[in-house]
């Protein structure tokens, strides 16, 4: 099951979009917690949890241990708690009004969350609640996204080198650096390809890239 979720999510954490499996196996995360829930981060765990959704594919996500075990844990706040809370398998979860975004099923998540450079920003109450619950601006994420952003900005420049007339750099110096005009052309072609791929769903931090490079396609 984990392998299928991982493949479905392009090997990225559903919440923070980090590729982390080189250092951690990751978790099968339950969007609606199976063993108990908390309405607030500081609140007590209440039960029962959503035990009947423990193996429901629509309730499962692939997540890094940091987002799952350290940040979200049993947190699942509702706008209509407690009256709308489903407490057993006979109850209809469609009546619930979750405050947290479900990365697998929320349409147009950019309506709720965006980025100012590497920093995530909540645009709606759902976006702000999710940003807080998943701690999307923790230092490690900010550092990693900042590095990714700077790298893409450099790639963007390299990808556009031959589009300036006259060139804004010493082309001959670059040819000497890379060994030949052919090798430089291949390097620029690869840079263009990497740049274009950065906005795809399969790319790490695709949400941040789309917000910062608005002229790129969003799908």
Measured in Å, how far apart are the chain's first and last C-alpha atoms?
Answer: 27
DSSP 75: B
Query: H or E element: which one contains 119?
Result: strand 119-122
pLDDT range class, residue 21, cuts 50, 70, 90: confident
Packing angle between helix 181-197 and helix 139-159, nearest 10 degrees? 130
Alpha carbons within 13 angstroms on the beta-carbon side of residue 43 total 14
Of 32, 45, 35, 147, residue with least CA distance to 97:
32
| Span 53-106, pLDDT tens digits | 999 999 999 999 999 999 999 999 999 999 999 999 999 999 999 999 999 999
Are 67 and 134 contacting, i.e. CB atoms less than 8 angstroms apart? Answer: yes
The single-letter DSSP state of residue 45 is P
What is this structure's pTM?
0.87
Residue 44: strand, helix, or coil: coil
Mean pLDDT along residues 32-39: 97
Rounded Cα distance between 107 and 75, Å, is 22
For residue 194, the model assigns a pLDDT of 86
CA distances for 186 relative to 139, 147, 154, angstroms: 36, 24, 16
Q: What is the Cα 169 distance to its own chain's centre?
A: 35
Mean pLDDT of 107-132: 96
Rg of the Cα atoms in the chain: 21
* 178-194 residue pLDDT tens: 888 888 888 888 888 88
What's the pLDDT score for residue 177?
Answer: 82
Contact 88, 51 (CB under 8 A): no
Q: From CA 145, how far away is CA 30, in angstroms rounded?
A: 26
Average pLDDT score, the chain: 91
């Amino acid at each position: 099951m984990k392998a299928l979720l991982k493949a479905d999510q392009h090997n990225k954490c559903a919440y923070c979009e980090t590729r982390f499996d080189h250092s951690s196996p990751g978790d099968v995360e339950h969007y609606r917690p199976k063993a108990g829930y908390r309405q607030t981060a500081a609140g007590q765990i209440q039960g029962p949890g959503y035990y009947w959704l423990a193996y429901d594919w629509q309730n499962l996500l692939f997540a890094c241990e940091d987002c799952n075990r350290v940040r979200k844990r049993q947190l699942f706040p509702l706008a209509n708690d407690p009256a709308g809370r489903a407490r057993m398998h006979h109850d209809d979860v469609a009546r619930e009004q979750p405050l947290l975004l479900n990365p697998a099923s929320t349409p147009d998540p950019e309506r709720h969350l965006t980025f100012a450079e590497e920093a995530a920003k909540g645009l709606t109450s759902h976006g702000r609640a999710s940003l807080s619950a998943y701690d999307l601006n923790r230092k490690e994420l900010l550092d990693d996204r900042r590095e990714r952003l700077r790298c893409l900005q450099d790639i963007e420049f390299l990808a556009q080198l031959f589009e300036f007339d006259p060139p804004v750099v010493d082309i001959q110096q670059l040819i000497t650096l890379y060994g030949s005009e052919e090798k430089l052309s291949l390097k620029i072609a690869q840079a263009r390809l990497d740049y274009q791929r950065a906005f795809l769903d399969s790319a790490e931090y695709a949400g941040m890239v789309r917000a910062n490079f608005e002229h790129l396609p969003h799908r």
